[in-house]
Structures are given as structure tokens and as C-alpha cells.
């Protein structure tokens, strides 16, 4: 069972390896769902790959954003480069990129990103049929469904077990994009879910003042390790590419300890930052999923400020010089206090510059100097055995072995000494000076004639050559890969059709699949009415079930399927969609460009209300203590959120929460351009909040 660590920079890679991670996932700066992590040039990335492989750690690269047409070739070129660098796998979301990679880099291992929102057996089966080696299940997937997937399918299963949570269904959040153009599906989320809101009921009465009603607590499932082991989950994923090396080190170390030795340090996990903990929707932990008051990542309470003329701190445990605590002043603002010396448990200390601190108050350590130093220790060296042969008249030979690999280097002809001979101790000492290499000599032995001469400079050159070759030999895997194919952007010629305005949402002959259905729900779904001719899908995983059960129906891909480029349209046509509505993230000019290069039936969302968040969690449950998740009987079945700018967002509950944007998506000023683009349909959607 793999412990999978996040990394947003080189220091986090170092901390993950040091803590015992089995694999690391990171982005390259382009096309990954954390656009603001460190960007790596080719040489830096090669070094990281070598470092990981040297320590038997796999490296997965995230390519899990939606792509526009003009980005496809660049994205493929990057994938090809990563393939040649021996990256272990790519984590992908975009259907167009997936199609390209399956055709042109068939040996590249692909993992289906959580952004694809696969949360039931049929979706997992579809990913297996598509050729994915692994699926990163959506965070909303219940444990019972995960167990079914593990029992009945061969595909590897990866689940999130620790870290920050998105309240919205994976890959279904358009909130940030609609507010300011920063798309969460393209790695630039502005995190509107972490803001404060007011809650209103259906009659627009204020029912709850400012609170973090869309901000979940952090996930922590370390107590469930035995369940993970029993079900043989393939990979336990830790969130946190935007966090610190200390966080990565502490969380990875504790999850590894829990897996290997059934023990962990709960206090240490608390200290590296959390918003309060929940076991998440994975284990149906709605009771602890959210809280009204938004908490920052506050660390652990390790002291208190006592009343008195002088501001005195009493420490609950031993603390060290350089530790940083967070102090709240009388106004409610917070500032850091860096300790200037060590303090013992229960010791009282005076710090004059916290004169304005609120009293009494407990204070939290937000930076642990000891942990910071610990996670920056040098990585363990790799032991090397060295054998040499130094015989007069023959080439100098050195055989170096490490981690089951061996390399041999040969030098110049060994000569007899005319003056001062090379001593055996000198030779062995010179060849064990491995310095800043990742190796250390454990054993060195061989045969050597008496009274030989060999320049020390030549010995040093052989040593460097041997270590370079050994590093390449250990880290270059898989060794045998066929070269990938060449990709060129493809176009299809379409037949001219008359553009029709329609709203499939309100057509009686079109059945609308729910935005979220668990495996148990989908298995027990009632039969469609006979007059239903088409089915509108909002989740890619539902396609497998519909094709199996209703092969004669017209299948329409709604905008949450996130089809945003020509190749994705080609893929969707091949895999059974009869009609496609492009993602609402496609601007009119981009939609027209896609229409020019595709032949299938294509629709563009032109006007109407859009759902910007689909949440299993209900924001009103935080004020409804009697919530039993029976939305049909709930007073808050409909309501509103108000943000800090006074914008109002309607909320409808039907088992899950649908949060609508405050304004309609409106491309009516592009009507002529869209009509000239020859779309088959332009959607004018009449929803719950339209005129």
C-alpha cells in the first residue's frame, strides 16, 4: 500500500523522501491543478526524477487541467518529454489529452485524476476499459463503493486520506471562474469556498450571519489505516502541494508509521496545520465536515498568556529558541512571536513586546524549529561496494555495486613506479571520497601490484565517472520503452446544419441524470418512461451504465462533462455520446473554433442560469442541528448565500446542494457569431431562477 506525498517545490520532495514516502506527485508549472507551485526547468526535473528513483520513490506528474485547442500540442510535447525522462505516470483529466496519449504514447502509465469525478463502480469500470492503470477516486466516494470497486475490478485505486478538502464535487466547480476568470479546472482557483457568507431562507430572511459555510475541515483518516490495509487500497494520497516541507514530512512520516507499525503521533499531526479534522464523505462524517467559524491553520496550543502587569507566558511543554507562536491582540488581530531562548515545561517567561496581547488567551505554536530542522536533514547515503584491479601493464579497473546494480569503469594502463609508489591505503582513501554524491563507500577491496604508479588526478576522474554511471544505472527505469508517436492537431469536416435554439433541460422527452449518484442509487434506479428518447449526462462515469442499460437512447453530454477542445469532442463521439454541450468555460470564439474542426452534433450554452457548485455537503446543515439529510422535508430546501460584496447565490437542495451563480451566463451579444459558427444547437436555458 503506497504512501503518496505532495510536492510543490524541491524542499518538499526532499522532506517526502526523508519521511519515507513510496511515491510523490507534483506539477511542472504547466497544465497542473496547482498553477502557483514551483515551476521546474528540464534539468531540475531530471535531477528530481533521479533523486526519487535513487531512493526507490516513484514520481507522478500532474497534467490534470482542462485544455484549450491551442494548448493541446504543447501539452503533448510536455508529456512526451516527461515520458522520455522516465516519469512513472501522468495524472490526467482532459478527455482530449487522454485520447491523444492513448494513441501516441500507449506505454505511458496514466492515472485518472480526481477531477474526472469518478465516484461509483460504473465510472471506475469505464476508466479500466479506457486503459487507465489507476483511478484517483473523487473525495465524495463512499467507503462501501470503494470496497466494491476493489473487489470487482483490476484497476488500481487511489484515495485521498489527509489534507484540505474541496466542498464542491471534484471537477465540478465553476465558482472561481465565473467570479473572476480564475478557473479551478485549470489550476487557478481563487478559493471562494474559504470566504465568509450569510445564509438566507427561501423567503430571503437572514437566518445566519457571517460564517464559513462552504469551508470544510481538513481530512484526517489515519485512524482507519486497518480498513485501508484490509481492503488493500493501492495508494493513500496526502493533499498539500501548496503547504510546507514540515507539513509533508510530518504527515508522511505518521501515515507510514501507522501503516508499518500501527502507531502515530496525533499531536504532531495537529501541529503542522489544520482547520479542525473530519473523516470526510469517505466515511460519511457529516457531523464534523464543516464548522461555522472559519479556522486558519493554527498549529497546536502549547502555552497561555497570564493576566498581570507584565505579559507572562506559561508553556505547557518544552519549547525551543526559534519556535514561533501566534498572538492575538486586544483588537483581534494576530501577529507572530519568535522565542528568543529555550523554555521548559511549565516555565513562565516575560516578553515585553506583547504588551497589547489579549488576556487571558491560549497560544498556538505555528512553527516548530525542531521539526523544521528535522525535515531538512541530509538524505541517507546509498552504500556502495567497490572492487578494484591495479596490475602493471593492464588497464585500471573499478567495479562499483549498489542497490543490485553494478558498473565497471576502466582507466589508463597501470605503470611501475619509478620514484614514489602509490600505496594501497592512498588508493582506497582517494576512491572513497564520494563527497556530495548520494553514495558512501561501505566496502572497498581488490588486488594491486606492488610499486605501481597511477596519477591521483586520474583516480579522481575514474571515481567521478563510476559514480555518475552508477547513478544513471540505478535511476534509469523503465529501461525499455518504445518511442512515442508524433501528434498533430486533427480536424474533421462537418455537414452544414441549421442552428436550432433549444433547452434540453426542459424537454419532456429528455431525462436528466442527477449530478451525483452513488453506486447503490444507480443500481436501483427505476426504469425510464417509454416516451423518453434522450438522456442528459452530467458525469462521465454514468456513460458506462447508460450504454449498458439503455443502448437505444440518445446520449447527451451536458456542460459538467467538461469538453473543452476538439480532441475531447472526437473522443466523446467515439465513446458513445450522440450530442455534446461544450463546457461553460469555452468562450464563444473558442466554441466556434471547436465547431469548425468537429463533425458531431454540438451545442453551445448561450444563455441561462448555471450551477457553479455541486456539493454533497449542505451549508444549511451547520445551522440546522436536527438535519437528517432528508432535503424534501427540510425548511432549508431552498435558500441563498450572500458574499462580502452583497451578491446573492441561490441554493437548491435535492439530496445534494446546487449553488447557482448570481447572474446568468449571457452570450446573447455573440448570437450572430455563434449562429455563423454553425452549431447544431444554441442552449437558451430556462432554469429555476430565470425570468
At residue 478, the pLDDT reads 57
Mean pLDDT of the chain: 90
Q: Looking at residues 85-101, what average pLDDT do you find?
A: 95
Q: Looking at residues 283-298, what average pLDDT do you find?
A: 77
Lowest model confidence (mean pLDDT) among 112-116, 125-129, 159-163, 508-512:
508-512
122 and 142 Cβ atoms separated by less than 8 Å: no
At residue 519, the pLDDT reads 67
Q: Exposed/middle/buried for 479, CB within 10 Å: 0-12, 13-18, 19+?
A: exposed
pLDDT tens-digit series, residues 326-367: 999 988 888 999 999 999 999 999 888 888 899 989 999 989
More confident residue, 84 or 235: 235
Cis bond leading into 420, ω under 30°?
Answer: no
Q: Which of 653, 669, 670, 664 is nearest to 619 (CA)?
A: 653
At residue 551, the pLDDT reads 87
| Residues 612, 606: Cα–Cα separation, whole Å | 16
More confident residue, 40 or 472: 472
Q: Looking at residues 529-540, what average pLDDT do you find?
A: 86
For residue 492, pLDDT beyond 80:
no
At residue 527, the pLDDT reads 65
At residue 529, the pLDDT reads 66
Cis bond leading into 360, ω under 30°?
Answer: yes
At residue 691, the pLDDT reads 37
At residue 509, the pLDDT reads 85
At residue 353, the pLDDT reads 81
At residue 339, the pLDDT reads 94
More confident residue, 524 or 207: 207
DSSP string, 123-153: HHHHHHHHT-SEEE--TT--HHHHHHHHHH-
pLDDT band at 413 (very low <50, low <70, confident <90, very high): very high
Q: Looking at residues 615-627, what average pLDDT do you find?
A: 84
Q: Which pTM does this prediction carry? A: 0.92
More confident residue, 490 or 546: 546
C-alpha distances in angstroms, 70 versus 189, 208, 590?
21, 46, 10
For residue 623, pLDDT beyond 60:
yes
Helices (H), 153-277: 175-180, 225-231, 245-261, 266-271
Q: Looking at residues 549-574, what average pLDDT do you find?
A: 93
Helices (H), 379-455: 424-431
For residue 233, pLDDT beyond 90:
yes
| Residues 242, 186: Cα–Cα separation, whole Å | 16
pLDDT tens-digit series, residues 399-411: 999 999 999 999 9
For residue 690, pLDDT beyond 60:
no
At residue 144, the pLDDT reads 93
At residue 296, the pLDDT reads 59
3-state SS, 509-532, equals CEEECCCCCCHHHHHCCCCCCCCC
Amino acid at each position: 500500500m503506497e504512501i503518496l506525498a505532495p510536492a510543490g517545490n524541491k524542499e518538499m520532495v526532499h522532506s517526502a523522501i526523508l519521511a519515507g514516502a513510496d511515491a510523490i506527485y507534483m506539477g511542472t508549472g504547466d497544465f497542473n491543478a496547482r498553477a502557483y507551485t514551483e515551476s521546474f526547468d528540464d534539468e531540475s526535473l531530471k535531477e528530481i526524477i533521479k533523486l526519487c528513483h535513487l531512493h526507490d520513490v516513484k514520481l507522478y506528474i500532474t497534467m490534470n487541467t482542462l485544455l484549450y485547442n491551442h494548448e493541446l500540442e504543447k501539452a503533448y510535447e510536455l508529456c512526451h518529454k516527461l515520458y522520455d525522462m522516465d516519469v512513472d505516470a501522468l495524472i490526467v483529466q482532459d478527455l482530449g489529452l487522454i485520447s491523444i496519449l492513448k494513441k501516441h504514447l500507449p506505454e505511458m502509465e496514466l492515472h485518472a485524476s480526481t477531477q474526472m469525478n469518478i465516484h461509483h463502480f460504473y465510472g471506475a469500470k469505464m476508466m479500466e476499459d479506457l486503459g487507465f492503470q489507476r483511478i484517483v477516486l473523487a473525495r465524495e466516494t463512499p467507503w462501501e463503493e470503494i470496497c466494491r470497486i476493489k473487489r470487482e475490478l483490476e484497476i488500481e485505486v487511489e484515495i485521498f486520506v489527509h489534507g484540505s478538502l474541496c466542498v464542491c464535487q471534484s471537477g465540478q466547480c465553476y465558482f472561481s471562474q465565473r467570479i473572476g476568470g480564475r478557473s479551478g479546472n485549470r489550476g487557478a482557483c481563487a478559493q471562494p469556498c474559504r470566504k465568509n457568507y450569510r445564509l438566507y431562507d427561501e423567503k430571503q430572511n437572514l437566518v445566519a450571519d457571517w460564517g464559513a459555510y462552504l469551508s470544510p475541515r481538513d481530512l484526517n483518516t489515519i485512524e482507519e489505516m486497518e480498513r485501508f490495509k484490509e481492503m488493500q487500497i493501492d495508494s493513500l494520497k496526502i493533499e498539500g502541494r501548496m503547504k510546507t516541507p514540515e507539513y509533508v514530512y510530518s504527515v508522511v512520516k505518521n501515515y507510514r508509521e501507522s501503516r508499518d507499525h500501527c502507531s502515530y503521533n496525533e499531536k504532531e499531526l495537529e501541529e503542522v496545520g489544520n482547520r479542525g479534522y473530519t473523516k470526510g464523505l469517505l466515511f460519511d462524517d457529516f457531523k464534523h465536515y464543516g464548522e461555522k467559524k472559519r479556522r486558519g491553520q493554527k498549529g497546536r496550543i502549547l502555552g497561555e498568556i497570564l493576566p498581570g502587569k507584565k505579559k507572562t507566558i506559561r508553556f505547557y511543554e518544552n519549547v525551543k529558541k526559534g519556535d514561533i507562536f501566534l498572538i492575538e491582540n486586544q483588537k483581534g488581530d494576530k501577529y507572530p512571536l519568535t522565542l528568543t531562548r529555550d523554555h521548559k515545561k511549565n516555565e513562565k517567561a516575560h516578553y515585553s513586546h506583547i504588551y497589547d496581547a489579549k488576556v487571558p488567551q491560549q497560544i498556538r505554536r505555528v512553527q516548530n524549529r525542531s521539526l523544521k530542522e528535522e525535515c531538512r536533514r541530509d538524505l541517507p547515503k546509498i552504500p556502495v561496494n567497490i572492487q578494484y584491479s591495479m596490475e602493471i601493464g593492464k588497464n585500471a579497473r573499478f567495479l562499483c555495486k549498489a542497490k543490485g546494480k553494478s558498473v565497471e569503469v576502466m582507466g589508463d594502463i597501470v605503470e611501475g613506479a619509478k620514484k614514489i609508489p602509490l600505496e594501497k591505503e592512498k588508493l582506497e582513501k582517494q576512491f572513497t571520497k564520494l563527497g556530495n554524491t548520494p553514495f558512501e563507500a561501505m566496502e572497498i577491496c581488490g588486488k594491486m601490484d606492488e610499486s605501481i604508479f597511477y596519477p591521483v588526478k586520474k583516480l579522481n576522474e575514474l571515481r567521478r565517472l563510476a559514480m555518475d554511471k552508477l547513478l544513471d544505472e540505478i535511476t534509469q527505469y523503465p529501461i525499455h520503452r518504445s518511442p512515442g508517436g508524433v501528434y498533430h492537431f486533427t480536424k474533421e469536416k462537418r455537414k452544414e446544419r441549421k442552428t436550432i435554439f433549444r433547452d434540453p433541460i426542459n424537454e419532456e422527452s429528455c431525462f436528466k441524470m442527477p449530478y451525483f449518484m452513488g453506486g447503490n442509487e444507480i443500481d436501483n434506479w427505476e426504469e425510464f418512461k417509454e416516451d423518453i428518447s434522450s438522456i442528459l449526462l452530467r458525469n462521465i462515469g454514468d456513460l458506462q451504465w447508460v450504454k449498458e442499460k439503455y443502448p437505444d437512447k440518445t446520449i447527451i453530454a451536458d456542460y459538467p462533462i467538461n469538453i473543452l477542445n476538439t480532441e475531447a469532442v472526437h473522443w466523446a463521439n467515439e465513446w458513445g455520446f450522440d450530442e455534446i454541450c461544450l463546457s461553460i468555460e469555452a468562450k464563444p470564439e473558442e466554441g466556434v473554433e471547436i465547431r469548425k474542426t468537429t463533425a458531431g452534433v454540438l451545442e453551445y450554452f448561450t444563455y441561462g442560469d448555471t450551477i457553479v457548485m455541486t456539493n454533497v455537503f449542505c451549508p444549511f446543515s451547520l445551522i440546522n442541528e436536527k438535519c437528517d439529510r432528508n432535503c424534501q422535508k427540510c425548511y432549508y430546501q431552498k435558500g441563498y448565500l450572500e458574499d462580502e460584496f452583497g451578491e446573492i447565490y441561490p441554493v437548491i437542495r435535492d439530496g445534494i446542494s446546487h449553488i447557482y451563480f448570481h447572474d446568468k451566463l449571457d452570450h446573447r451579444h455573440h448570437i450572430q457569431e455563434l449562429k455563423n459558427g454553425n452549431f447544431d444547437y444554441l442552449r437558451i436555458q430556462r432554469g429555476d431562477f430565470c425570468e
